[in-house]
Structure 1
């Protein structure tokens, strides 16, 4: 059983527990449920911004605790000030020490698109994302069938959310493409064994149709890498661990961006 299998198995239990506590109808009454989402495309295309999706991540299955000190609001505010195009917040509790309240806390201080980084296996989690202030949801091809991707993406779009599809290889890409997807992310980290290689991004960039925002995710720790990825055709870059492992993630991103501009 891979780590991804374990996470998905746990997720199904979590969703059943969440549904027993709060119905879909109750989620639809949450104040944030009715808000209009920010556009990921507009934010990424804004020349004042960097294309970086900066992530708040306390811990991970491969690294354990990364940062147990910096608060969500101070970090995401720092990211926004440093030029992030969007913000990603991990909401998985068991493996990443995140929560839905982290999402709402981030929403309070942001004027940028906010991604609920989660292992989505049920449309209920998409309704939760909307109710807690997200603008973007993540669908991971490695743990969803093509039919699941289609139906979950369509539901997300019906709520006005942006959809980021994450793939790891060409087979996942080809089987999962849908008109209801806004962005396709290539995860350089293999979710089955957590090894990282940027080759995945370089191999897939030209296989992603040009109507999608192209995102390279994970393993990016050097501004030169972003320049290379941009030259190859990527529009956006998800970075979390590189900033989160420092004492001040917002400052770390600011320094990174200054180097990128230099």
Structure 2
């Protein structure tokens, strides 16, 4: 069993536990459930395109930064020009939680992506009720039909969808209602990074689809290469989070990008 399979197995139990504690009716009663969400799609088109991530750890890297405060980092990301903020909400494997979303939501005015392994309708209501604007659908965890159904549900809740793909076969998960397509430069099964593979996949998408390069962007050269190849957005986390002050590292990076 690879790491992705382990995560999904644990996620099923996690969702079942959450359902037993908080009902859908209770989720819908949240102060955030009726709020008008921000559009990541529009923010990427009009801004820097960088979706800066808050991530404490990962299965491949272990602890990345377990000292930084989510609110402080999120505010810095916004202040220095991020188009959106990605927050990991998986606790066991990535050190995140839904409370991180709640802490940030009323303090910033840019879109928040709930980054997690979405396998059940319940999680979409969780995302909405905790202040998310966008959710991630990982093609390797879902069937094309599930992607279509979850996209429809997301839009009913006012949430946008970032579909993440890794392989050519996963291109068939795309449907015209998807808001953005993320192409993960890192293979989730063996964690190898291949930027050219991502470019090849991007070139097979419809021309009008907003594309987001995800993971494995380790320096300015990686960013520039992907930008030149036509990517609209860039989901970056480890590059900033591995520093003691992620916001300061983001400021440095964005200043070099705009030179």
Superposed pair shares fold, TM > 0.5: yes
Q: Is the 8 A contact 2:114 2:127 kept in 1?
A: yes
Whole-Å Cα distance in 1 between the matches of residues 117 and 23 of structure 2?
20
Alignment root-mean-square deviation, CA: 1.0
3-state DSSP of counterpart to 1:32: coil
Aligned partner (choices 186, 191, 198) of residue 188 of structure 2: 191
3-state DSSP of counterpart to 2:67: coil
3-state DSSP of counterpart to 1:257: helix
* Corresponding residue of 2:246: 249
Long gaps (5+) in structure 2 = none
3-state DSSP of counterpart to 1:251: helix
3-state DSSP of counterpart to 1:128: helix
Q: Establish whether residue 237 from structure 1 lines up as the match of residue 231 from structure 2.
A: no
Q: Establish whether residue 35 from structure 1 lines up as the match of residue 35 from structure 2.
A: yes
Long gaps (5+) in structure 1 = none
Deviates more, 1:163-172 or 1:103-112: 103-112
- 5 Å-filtered alignment, 1:205-244, equals 205-244=202-241
Aligned partner (choices 122, 125, 130) of residue 124 of structure 1: 122
Whole-Å Cα distance in 2 between the matches of residues 76 and 232 of structure 1?
28
Q: 1:59-91 CA distances to partner (integer Å, 9 max, x unpaired)?
A: 101111110111000111111111100000000
Q: Establish whether residue 171 from structure 1 lines up as the match of residue 169 from structure 2.
A: yes
Q: Is the 8 A contact 2:38 2:111 kept in 1?
A: yes
Q: Establish whether residue 88 from structure 1 lines up as the match of residue 79 from structure 2.
A: no
3-state DSSP of counterpart to 1:185: strand
Whole-Å Cα distance in 2 between the matches of residues 114 and 50 of structure 1?
15
> Aligned residues, how many?
259
Superposition misfits of 4+ residues, deviation over 6 angstroms:
none
Whole-Å Cα distance in 1 between the matches of residues 192 and 106 of structure 2?
35
What's the CA shift for 1:224? 2.7
3-state DSSP of counterpart to 1:13: helix
Q: Establish whether residue 25 from structure 1 lines up as the match of residue 18 from structure 2.
A: no
Q: Is the 8 A contact 2:165 2:183 kept in 1?
A: yes
Q: Is the 8 A contact 1:186 1:200 kept in 2?
A: no
Q: Is the 8 A contact 1:76 1:110 kept in 2?
A: yes
